[in-house]
Chains A and B, each alone.
Chain A
Amino acid sequence: MGGLSPIFPNPVSPNGQGIYNTYLLISIPAIVIFLGVEIALLWVVLRYRRSTQPVGYVPPQVHGNTTLEVVWTVIPLIIVLAIAAVSFVELQRDFQPIGNQQMTVVVSGYQFGWRYNYDNGVVVNQAGTLAGDVVPFVVPTHTLIKLQFRGTDVIHSWWVPAVSGKTDAVPGYDNFSWLKIDQVGKWRGECAELCGAGHSTMQIIVQSMDQPDFNNWVDQQKAAAAKASPTPSP
């Protein structure tokens, strides 16, 4: 349901799927603790309010209980250690800089838009606008693509929830992420780091195409680029 989803959009890239699964795993203890504590609070409200206690009731003057206090120190400790371990495994699996990519795209954030430099020479300029769809960042399906992020002015953050988490484009050094999409489609995202007055216009569209369509698209882009800026005569 639009606007009221309790979880991320269906992930289309394996790293997005990893995050999705981690989110679900954390939700199990989180929901149990949430219900347990809220029910305990409700029980106090209903059962121990003064109007439901017998007249003249004097509560037991308990100052503490070491066993209980140790229990509710150790059990949460075990739970958070487990959550941290699960998260760390996912962190090691999907968040390391990769070296086995089939393609590299340099993504540069600028005020206000994204520029994608493919390693085959194609350049896509995704100028920011809210008036309509931005130019899509086109990727081939079934291809492991390394994304190399650069900030050219201030800090931006590239985020397409259906693909994966966000990565900051910081001026001064390169930042990395990757994607591998196995289905044809279009997914939306936008810049997630306040970068100036045009921040909300920095929309992102990722479009995946099967390899033949992608090759056609590359040829079109190269032809258009050649027409737009003819090589100067010697």
Chain B
Amino acid sequence: MATTVLPRPKAYDDTFFKPISIWLTTTDHKLIGIMYMVTGVLSFVVGGLFALVIRLQLSQPNLKIVDAETYNQIVSAHGVTMIFFFVTIFLTGIANYMVPIMVGARDMAFPRVNLLGFWLIPVSIILYYSGFFTGGALDAGWTGYAPLTEKLYQGKSLGVDFWALSIIVWAISGIMASTNFLTTVVALRAPGMRFSRLPLFVWAQISTSILLLVVGAPLAAAMILLEFDRQLGTQFFTTAGRPVLYQHLFWFFGHPEVYIMILPGFGMISEIIPVFARKPLFGYMSMVAALFGIVFLSMTVWAHHMFTVGMNTYVEGFFMLMTMLIAVPTGIKFFNWIATAWWGSVEFTVPMKFAFGFLATFLIGGLTGIYLASVPVDTQLHQSYYVVAHLHYVLFGGSVFTIMAGIYYWFPKITGRLLDRTLGEWNFWTLFIGFNGTFLIMHTLGLEGMPRRIATYANPAWAATNLIITLSSFLIAFSVLLLLINIVRSWRSGEIAGNDPWQGNTLEWATTSPPPPYNFERVPPVRSFMPLRDLRESGELVEAEPGLYPA
């Protein structure tokens, strides 16, 4: 029987201590992936600081920690930073690192496009924040609804222009990355890695890439038309034009963007649960089908953000129905995840804790989504704190919890060292309690009539609830601090991970931690969607003896 000799585990990590010139010019998908992820984490911190200012301002009625104009800029910057510069960027990074390894490729299909795509992101970020130096950044929310963003209502500030340019650059970068992912998966799979054997994380990245490829261009188009209005005097979205057209274009991107931010997380959860439950993923084919069901449906639901603008009730009914149908594929995924862990031998390591934290919280975001999809109920809940609560259950309880699971799961592969478990447990519990303390009672504020994006409020009945929310939000901040400490400490002196600390299923665990620039000396044979597990169980896996190969 042929055996697969694994490379000798590395004793130390040498990936990061490279000269800056290598970081600036590298086309290695792993280094680019790390740069994406570091950019994402930094944006998370910045966006979190904005959130803390928002929470301080709202902690009591009639507070004026910042004035209303500054508040509007901070609310917008929080949204833009978290959505465009944190979640999407971090997920692109982790996919950049993992997808080529998981399919057994040596690098992405277009390494130099990858390089360019990444370096457009700092350009995009710098463009956006430049707005703050022109008399005021974007102050109309991350959605930037016209005609509030039109020149007539913006004074002399150029914040909106810088935001629009930043988003155009961001969209171009996203389209590059999506093309690259799709080509990599289609063209560079290892022998035996059929489509029916792709890991679920790779499938999730395929569906994400298709979405971004389709909706990135309309987003750029909306921004370009807005710029024409502002700088060339056209009348696309002005009061003389069609302000609601902007909303259609924006949400045709904006709603699929929600899935761009959650599908890779679904993929990670589908990798993590089988590994720690020691069971294969339940219903591989239906999981893949559900992903594509979501991709299709997510492009037919955008107007559910616009149920109060006044549309024909049959059109509203159509968008309501399509939105509610998304619950079906999402439900399939949920039940399959639970069935995967059922009868398992489940080890609640930190990544598994975050995976279950994700299931427990994302469920609430999914259920409130049903209320919001119902047109009559939505006219009450729309633009209220109920929506703020819902979107954070989806994006924080959803995306951020999956990202945390992914960080704890793959950090040992990326750095060669394990994140500290005790700090990780603290990280999980403080985040879980802080998150629910912050966002659960936000639903009730919305039901009682507190609109989102108000700089302050006079109603004394909302004071106590808002204070609890603010205190809980600082627990989240503390938790993020624990994560950062854990990352820095473990990166320098954490426990050495070895090649495969979790007994993983997929190919990334068959190479060293961190992997060499070429990923594999020889790609192991692939016989199912769990190639490494197959080798382990058939006894074909042989750990290299120490000293056999040069380090």
Contacts and interface: CB of A to CB of B under 8 A. Distances in A.
Given A48-B277, A59-B278, A53 B308 contact: no
Nearest to A97: B310
Interface in B310-354: 310, 313, 316-317, 320-321, 324-325, 327-328, 331-332, 334-336, 338-339, 341-348
- Chain B contact residues (Cβ within 8 angstroms of A): what range? 35 or more
Contacts of A198: 68
Nearest to B330: A76
Contacts of A3: 441, 444-445, 448, 461-466
Interface stretch (B159-167, B172-180, B283-291): B283-291
Interface string A72-85: 11001100110110
Contacts of A98: none
B339 A59 contact: no
A173 B343 CA distance: 59
Contacts of B141: 194
A83 B140 contact: no
A166 interface: yes
Interface stretch (B217-225, B394-402, B452-460): B452-460
B282 A159 contact: no
A76 B328 contact: yes
A58 B145 CA distance: 56
B449 A200 contact: no
Contacts of A61: 279-280
Nearest to B316: A91
A161 B309 contact: no
A69 interface: yes
B449 A95 contact: no
A171 B239 contact: yes
Interface stretch (A22-30, A100-108, A118-126, A208-216): A22-30
Contacts of B277: 48, 59
B374 interface: yes
Contact of B153 (A72, A153, A161, A199): A153
Nearest to A90: B376
A161 B449 contact: yes
A53 B345 contact: yes
A64 B529 CA distance: 14
Interface in B59-107: 62, 67-69, 72, 75
B239 A95 contact: no
B345 A50 contact: yes
Interface string A158-179: 0111001111101111011000
B458 A73 contact: no
Nearest to B332: A73
A197 B155 CA distance: 12
Contact of B327 (A76, A91, A176, A197): A76
B369 to A, nearest CB: 10
Given A153-B153, A155-B145, A161 B448 contact: yes
Contacts of B152: 153
B375 A91 contact: yes
Interface string B219-253: 00000000000000000000111111000000000
Nearest to B140: A194
B370 A62 contact: no
A132 B390 CA distance: 31
Interface in A141-155: 149, 151, 153-155
Contact of B462 (A2, A57, A72, A193): A2
Contacts of B359: 37, 41
A60 B462 contact: no
Contacts of A63: 280-284
Given A72-B331, A130-B457, 13 more contacts: A5-B447, A19-B379, A59-B277, A65-B339, A68-B339, A81-B324, A86-B374, A91-B313, A92-B313, A154-B145, A165-B379, A175-B310, A203-B458
Q: Which 4 A-B pairs have the closest CB atoms?
A: A165-B379, A2-B461, A3-B465, A200-B454
6 contacts: A26-B370, A88-B321, A161-B448, A164-B380, A176-B310, A192-B451
Interface of B: 62, 67-69, 72, 75, 139-141, 145, 147-148, 152-153, 239-244, 277-286, 308-310, 313, 316-317, 320-321, 324-325, 327-328, 331-332, 334-336, 338-339, 341-348, 356, 359-360, 363-364, 367, 370-371, 373-380, 382-384, 441, 444-445, 447-449, 451-466
Interface of A: 2-9, 18-19, 22-23, 26, 30, 33-34, 37-38, 40-41, 44-45, 48-50, 53, 57-65, 68-69, 72-73, 76-77, 80-81, 83-84, 86-88, 90-92, 94-96, 111, 130, 149, 151, 153-155, 157, 159-161, 164-168, 170-173, 175-176, 188-200, 203
